[in-house]
Amino acid sequence: MKQIEKIISEINEFPTLPTIYQQLQSTMEQPNATAKAVADIISTDQAAAVKILKAVNSPIYGLRGKVSSIEQSIVYLGFNEVKNLVLALSVIEMFSKVKGLDTIKPKEFWKYSMGVGILSRKIGIAIKAKNVDDYFICGILHCIGRLIFLKTIPELFSQVLSFARENRVLTRDVEKDIIGMTHTIAGQLLFEKWKLPKLLQDTVSYQYIGQCDNGDKDLVATVHLALIAANMMRLGESGDYRVPKLNFMIWDILRLEKNFFTDNLSSFDGEYQDTVNLLLN
């Protein structure tokens, strides 16, 4: 189908991730990497440096004292969290000029995605995940394929969204019929091009299934649950007009306490607003 060829062609033409992210990735892989070396890289990008400082001093991380330097920020946040923040900022900037439709607007889409990111991190903390820093970024970027459609085939994607809304069906199912490709496949193709970690690719590919055989099962199950919760809470605009079906097997994987959501909702709103203000303003 011509539209699939167009999407793949345009994904292949997507720019690579900014130099700052690539430098961070390379530096952090070195066994003798220091906070100063990472700070020097971030300081070359003023916008990223300001956001990192705002992040570490925001209620999101709950630090008591004020942090005034990039190097201090890296010590408090850790290498992986800083890299993930830069990745999130880079992707948001890359799609910043995409025009919205009546059925979905990029800013509202990012609000939804950030809600999934925060919920994913909260679940990661609750289950004592080893790589909890990665839960936030996987939640934020899980649905990037829909922005790819918005950028590459806006008119056709508008038809998809309109049909899904009018018929109250999952947008993903309509994508298959009208486009011939789901947003999960589009996101997977872009992440492969960018050579992003497998855990990010897995959460994109298995977000609606909630299970994967060869990957981080806890992380995939977490993002699956978080996206369903974010849809139920109507955070921003996901592009879906009905709540995706829950895979009940994830309860056996995650083993969350029965009162997890009620215990965490009180702190969610504040973290959500702080994150939206940090990353979108």
CATH of the domain at 68: 1.10.3210.10
Q: Which two tokens stand for residue 81?
A: 């969290």
Average pLDDT, the chain: 92
Which of 243, 144, 244, 250 is closest to 190 using CA atoms? Answer: 144
DSSP state for residue 99 in the 8-state scheme:
P
| 18-27, 124-133, 266-275: least confidently modelled range | 266-275
Q: Which two tokens stand for residue 182?
A: 């789901």
* Cα distance between residue 109 and residue 94, in whole Å: 14
Amino acid found at 24: L
* Cα distance between residue 231 and residue 135, in whole Å: 18
63 pLDDT above the threshold of 80: no
Helix, strand or coil, per DSSP, at residue 234: coil
Which residues constitute the domain of residue 12? 2-280
**How confident is residue 3, by pLDDT bands cut at 50, 70 and 90?**
confident
pLDDT of 244 reads 95
The total domain count for the chain is 1
pLDDT of 193 reads 95
pLDDT of 1 reads 62
143 pLDDT above the threshold of 90: yes
Which of 38, 138, 41 is closest to 87 using CA atoms? Answer: 138
Radius of gyration of the chain, Cα coordinates, nearest whole angstrom: 18
Spell out the residues 6+ positions from residue 50 whose beta carbon is closer than 8 angstroms to its own. Answer: none
* Cα distance between residue 172 and residue 24, in whole Å: 34
DSSP state for residue 214 in the 8-state scheme:
S
pTM: 0.93
**How confident is residue 190, by pLDDT bands cut at 50, 70 and 90?**
very high
198 pLDDT above the threshold of 80: yes
pLDDT of 101 reads 87
pLDDT of 122 reads 94
**How confident is residue 11, by pLDDT bands cut at 50, 70 and 90?**
very high
